[in-house]
Structure 1
Amino acid sequence: MEVSASGPWVPDDDPRHLVPRPWGGRRLGTVAGEPVGEAWVLSPLPDRPSYVGGRQLSSLVDGPLGLLVKILDTAAPLSVQVHPDDGDLGPDRLGKEEAWIVLDADEGAWIRAGLREGVDAASFVEAARRADADRAEAVLGLLEAFRPRPGDMVLLPAGVPHALGPGLLLVEVQQPTDATLRLYDYGRGRPLHLADAARVLRPDRRPQHLPAGTIGRLEGAHLELRRDVVVEAPDTPTVWLATSPGATWDAPDGRRHALPVGTPVLTGGGGTGRAGAAPLVAAWAR
């Protein structure tokens, strides 16, 4: 899958954008021989910034950017996890609403998101607590399932438990935080966060799904995704940032441009470059 760039920000093809993960594949590259699960291609976070023209993205922005954009390559299942809402873990702690745009999906790839009807938060957390490393379905079976296709869009409100299976390449757009609470992790030995997860689960909230090839929009508290036109493959998604008032961008010519609410921030489709490298992003401030 190739992605194209428009607008002023094109992330550098920089190995510092690549993050090894135990579930990662090799479509984004490797770091010291380890598989890469994530490429942080648009990140204002100081502990893992993205770079544009050799400069940290945060140095080009005056005001809140409002989102973090990654590309994910899954060669193994990710943990069953949930993200907190704003203030769930403290009055000043940012939550994490996120959305996925599927770029590629192997046959048999899957996504699980949202508790099935009749499953409450307490029983879900208890199932995760009891599940052995080889009994993933005892947890996954409590979540709604669907088969992703390239061009699918999914919006996950904070508090919705979810899991990604192997064989996926997707864009992940989220609030600018990496707050993740794991409930089940296939015995990988990483910390679990069952108590905090129990506090932030929202059984009443549901994922939103816009299938490939359909016109429509997904609207959350912080993110809005929309497709206004259907094109021949490859599908061309556009991600819109719904809430980032007051941000500005310093253009190479020295002029400063406002980034109004509702600015498109990511386009995909035909073009050049491998996924995870420049060019990827974005149509800021048309």
Structure 2
Amino acid sequence: MTIKVLPKLRKQIWGSHRLGRMFGSEEKIGEVWLLSGHPLFITETSEGLDLNKDMEKILGKVFPRFPLLVKLISAEDWLSVQVHPDDEEAQKLEKEPWGKTEAWYFVENGQIAIGEDPEKIKEAFSSGNWDEALKKVNVQPGTFVFLPAGTVHALGPSGFLVEVQQSSDLTYRVYDWDRGRELHVEKAFKVMKKRKIEDLLIKNFEKFECEYFRIRKTREETLKGFCAIVVLERGELDGRRVEPFETFIVPEGESAYLNALALEIKLGSFFEGWGERT
């Protein structure tokens, strides 16, 4: 049994007309929310299930909201230089249940920037010399980028990727390329952490696991729930024709036969142990 999830479109100043047209819009769409129980955009299903109200049926457990958020992102301009809080910081600073650890799977060539050293970010905020503070890297299709909470980062123009994250929209902007949007510098400085860019990249990605989610690329097998499926190439799922970036859920206790290149996304240990934690 599979449940098809219907996408929601989010306009962004840095968004892409191409992404908009892919989903029937003439506007600059930055994010297509493929799977979400976040109150900003709750994705509906073709079967009429509510990801939050029917969570136990889908996941076998109940959380403050559907715990995974999956997006398709495309940009014509640089996104802001930004950072996300971790769980403890999110609860303390925003009274939100979770912070925002995320990961990017690049479908096409792209560019990213990482602020490895928080002290250099603080210097750049004062001096305006962001070239010294940010390490920019070109990435190839099939590259996976892990962005644990606290990582200062930005996505560059032409990037086209699938993002998997905790269900949170907490973003603190440090620099916005002089576009005049609000910055969140004081909070950003509180949550920034040191990172090494080489520790965040996986080329020729096949699988990855962190405490919040497990992601792997798969092509032809029976998938057993709970999992989310983001189709990457045309194929079939349980005998139905599927197209790139269509998104499906296999509920807990169910299974589905996939014959298409896709990303399978499952809950990580943090959520699997939720009953014991709460």
What TM bracket, shorter-length normalisation?
0.7 to 0.9
Q: CA deviation at 1:29?
A: 1.6
User: For the residues of structure 1 that align with 2:143 and 2:107, how far apart are their CA atoms?
Assistant: 8
RMSD of aligned residue pairs (Cα, Å) = 3.0
Cα distance change on mapping 1:89 and 1:175 into 2, 3 Å: closer
1:221 aligns with 2:211: yes
Residue-by-residue CA offset, 1:128-157 (whole Å, 9 max, x unaligned) = 3442xxxxxx32542333221111111111
Alignment TM-score, normalising by the size of structure 1? 0.71
Matches of residues 1-286 of structure 1 in structure 2 within 5 Å? 8-12=2-6, 17-29=8-20, 33-53=26-46, 54=48, 56-62=50-56, 63-64=62-63, 65-91=66-92, 92-93=95-96, 94-105=98-109, 109-115=110-116, 119=117, 121-131=118-128, 138-204=129-195, 207-212=199-204, 215=206, 217-227=207-217, 263-271=226-234, 279-285=246-252, 286=255
User: For the residues of structure 1 that align with 2:114 and 2:43, how far apart are their CA atoms?
Assistant: 29
The 3-state SS of whatever aligns with 2:4 is: coil
Number of residue-to-residue matches in the alignment: 232
Consecutive unaligned residues in structure 1, runs of 5 or more = 1-6, 132-137, 230-235, 241-256
Consecutive unaligned residues in structure 2, runs of 5 or more = 57-61, 236-241, 256-278
Cα distance change on mapping 1:144 and 1:99 into 2, 3 Å: same
In structure 2, the partner of 1:233 is none
Residue-by-residue CA offset, 1:162-217 (whole Å, 9 max, x unaligned) = 111000111111000100000110111111011101100011576522212x54x4
User: For the residues of structure 2 that align with 1:140 and 1:224, how far apart are their CA atoms?
Assistant: 34
User: For the residues of structure 1 that align with 2:31 and 2:192, how far apart are their CA atoms?
Assistant: 25
User: For the residues of structure 2 that align with 1:18 and 1:9, how far apart are their CA atoms?
Assistant: 19
User: For the residues of structure 1 that align with 2:115 and 2:250, how far apart are their CA atoms?
Assistant: 31
Partner letter of residue 54 of structure 2? L
Contact persistence 2:85–2:149 (CA under 8 A):
yes
Contact persistence 2:5–2:249 (CA under 8 A):
no
Higher helix share: 2
The 3-state SS of whatever aligns with 1:179 is: coil
The 3-state SS of whatever aligns with 2:28 is: strand
User: For the residues of structure 2 that align with 1:265 and 1:113, how far apart are their CA atoms?
Assistant: 28
Contact persistence 1:97–1:223 (CA under 8 A):
no
Contact persistence 1:208–1:218 (CA under 8 A):
no
User: For the residues of structure 1 that align with 2:195 and 2:154, how far apart are their CA atoms?
Assistant: 18
User: For the residues of structure 1 that align with 2:244 and 2:81, how far apart are their CA atoms?
Assistant: 25
In structure 1, the partner of 2:269 is none
Partner letter of residue 247 of structure 2? L
In structure 2, the partner of 1:243 is none
Deviates more, 1:92-101 or 1:199-208: 199-208
